[in-house]
Structure 1
């Protein structure tokens, strides 16, 4: 076999250039340029009409968002609750489903499909499905409780004391299936000798899982943490479908849209909120990439 390296021809270079340039251009147009423009607009006052109307605002939009914008801190609190629910309820539920389905039980493929189906649906469609479940007068849940159409029927999406938790159940239904697939892939990829060695050492199933199996899926665990963090921060669709993120369902992502689109738009404030959301979102991503690159080195 010849050890000579084939040199790239002009045609090869042209193809490689196109293959690199087109995705880079799409990435720049759809992501990086809008991001840079948003950062720039966050320091301005602008009504979204003529470019000549843009005026410098300095840090005024950030001060307004942090100090004088009433929905901001409730939205922060709701995002924290969203993160806590996904981390402490939906993610462990997904892990539990993965462990159960890894036991080679009968019909495991069917169960995997059932639990993974919500992941294949858009969050808007998930919100519509749960509207049918939570509807005050004709909803499935109130019919099961026997309160549908009665004065004591719970308004799951209209009551600000319960609508956040109703939305969390809906998003947790989808998130658990996603986490299940990730952990199921990790469990299937584990070296079976790890469990055998733990069994030989006298460990029971619980000890084997928490002391051997779970630590061995370190890469999956880090990925799940990052995904859960990002899912909590970018929560939008379900809350928007329910009531456009008002009446107890304020979220950071919805505040951004409310200030950027529609009547009474405040481009500068919306951009400042988007930048704050971007900064918070980058924290787990940067940590994950740093750990990954350090491990590769």
Structure 2
């Protein structure tokens, strides 16, 4: 028996020729190499540069934790940017994401023209956030903007994009327009994979539609919930192009991603200081995502 199993194992190994191993190595090696060069290389470089002072041209000087001390205590735009990023995350997570789930549930029930609604709601997803920002300018601008025209405020228009008390909310609504369609498609795919027998069993037990969804259907969507949660965190913390397209991320639209860009490629070119902001954003992003994934994996294990 042992001899037979060894021969069978050798036969399985011999199925992979040298050419197969080369092809497999190339197919795996190139993506891994690109990931290391494009993602983790700059990440590690940013972490190292965050402890230095460098303008991109001269010598690199080690400053230790001075960049982080100045960031937390002597850089006025930092804390408003943190608040705006947290507000962005809460808005997408508590309003845009549940709304996308609601649309997915309604379309999954087979309403008339569901294909049309699905395509229309998903259409903004193919647009970049910069394009969404330009569309927001056309709709909310003070110069012949659609909203001010409808409200009849041509002579004294509301400055939706220039008022620091309003523009952050307008940008979050515009970003949610795109985010909702993405969430809807993900949840719609998850709902299509739910076993109809589960719904039938719940109906036989006397559960109404609301009870069936929250006690039977929604728990089966846990893998989709993980994906949607991670995407929501990433979308909220990496938001940049939509606010930069409107007013370069200033006057109430400060975000951490904007501060990174302003310090690294701005006139001052403080690469070390900008890298420190990037590291803070990286830690916050990983903190949210890792915590969320660990809780989801623990919940799946308990079941």
TM-score of Structure 1 vs Structure 2, range by shorter chain: over 0.9
Question: For 1:14 and 1:256, how far apart are their aligned partners in 2?
Answer: 41
Q: 1:281 offset after TM fit, Å?
A: 0.8
Q: Which moved more, 1:211-220 or 1:39-48?
A: 211-220
Q: 1:11 offset after TM fit, Å?
A: 1.7
Q: 1:237 offset after TM fit, Å?
A: 1.1
Question: For 2:23 and 2:98, how far apart are their aligned partners in 1?
Answer: 46
Q: Summarize deviations over 1:209-256 as a string: whole Å, max 9, x none.
A: 122211221121222222111211111111111111100000011111
CA shift in 2, pair 1:47/1:80, >3 Å: same
Which residue in 1 is equivalent to 2:272?
Answer: 268
CA contact (8 A) 2:89 2:237 kept: yes
Matched, 1:188 2:196: no
Question: For 1:218 and 1:21, how far apart are their aligned partners in 2?
Answer: 32
Alignment of structure 1 residues 212-227 onto 2, 5 Å: 212-227=216-231
Question: For 1:218 and 1:27, how far apart are their aligned partners in 2?
Answer: 28
CA contact (8 A) 2:239 2:257 kept: yes
Which residue in 2 is equivalent to 1:281?
Answer: 285
Structure 1 stretches of 4+ with a deviation exceeding 4 A read 288-296
Alignment of structure 1 residues 1-297 onto 2, 5 Å: 4-5=11-12, 6-50=14-58, 53-148=59-154, 150-151=155-156, 153-290=157-294
Q: 1:293 offset after TM fit, Å?
A: 6.8
Question: For 1:293 and 1:14, how far apart are their aligned partners in 2?
Answer: 35
Q: 1:87 offset after TM fit, Å?
A: 1.2
Question: For 1:285 and 1:80, how far apart are their aligned partners in 2?
Answer: 14
Q: Summarize deviations over 1:122-159 as a string: whole Å, max 9, x none.
A: 111111111111111211111111112x12x1111111
Alpha-carbon RMSD across the aligned residues, in angstroms, is 1.8
How many residues in Structure 1 have an aligned counterpart in Structure 2? Answer: 292
CA contact (8 A) 2:100 2:184 kept: yes
TM-score of the superposed pair, with normalisation by structure 1: 0.93
Q: 1:204 offset after TM fit, Å?
A: 1.1
TM-score of the superposed pair, with normalisation by structure 2: 0.92
